[in-house]
Amino acid sequence: MKKSAISLIVMSLLAACSDLPTLGIGGDYPQTGQLVEAGNINVTPALSIPLEKLFYWGAYAGVAYLILDPLAPNWEIEEARFPEDSYKLSLHMKRYYAGGAGEARVVFHRRAKELVRSGDYGGYEVLEYSEGMESSVLGSQRVAEGVIRLKKS
């Protein structure tokens, strides 16, 4: 969902830029003056914030929100079904996160219990489980994977 929102924003900006000549707007923008007008917001009698700084800090906060995305789930789960009612679960944590680093085992067991409930099984057993870190240029990422076998009721 995050990638689709970013691509929607980029496509909208490109469409807006391609329509500029038809709207009579061309060349450098703004043609005269500043993009952000000079002015201050008086928070208290002793504190005033320039509009330019407010604009830039808002842009920084927007970019940070897109990168961190606090509403996205911390873990992404990929699963593969094997014969004999076995599943391999691979978990990947968000690369940039604010909490939730120690919950891989909890998420693993939660997904296993969901599989038990959805297939009317009596339980499950963990055949193997491991946790680790994968390194890349953008930073390390927590991973976990394991294999479970669902038991008939």
Over residues 63-104, the pLDDT tens digits come to 888 777 777 788 899 999 998 889 999 999 887 776 777 889
Nearest 10 degrees: Cα torsion 134, 135, 138, 140: 60
**Are 80 and 33 part of one and the same domain?**
no
**Are 64 and 87 part of one and the same domain?**
no
Using the 3D structure, point to which of 68, 86, 117 is the last residue of a domain.
Answer: 68
Total domains in the chain come to 2
Is the pLDDT reported for residue 3 higher than 70? no
Radius of gyration, alpha carbons of the chain: 25
Global confidence as pTM: 0.58
- How much is the pLDDT for 131? 94
Q: What is the pLDDT of residues 9-47, one digit of tens each?
A: 655 655 555 554 554 555 565 556 666 667 777 888 888
Closest CA to 90 of 149, 144, 148, 150: 144
- How much is the pLDDT for 33? 64
Top-confidence residue, 1 or 36: 36
Using the 3D structure, point to which of 38, 68, 98 is the last residue of a domain.
Answer: 68
Q: What is the pLDDT of residues 92-150, one digit of tens each?
A: 988 777 677 788 999 999 999 999 999 889 999 999 999 999 888 877 889 999 999 99
Q: Give CA separation, 51 vs 30, 31, 39, 43, 58, in Å.
A: 17, 20, 6, 12, 10
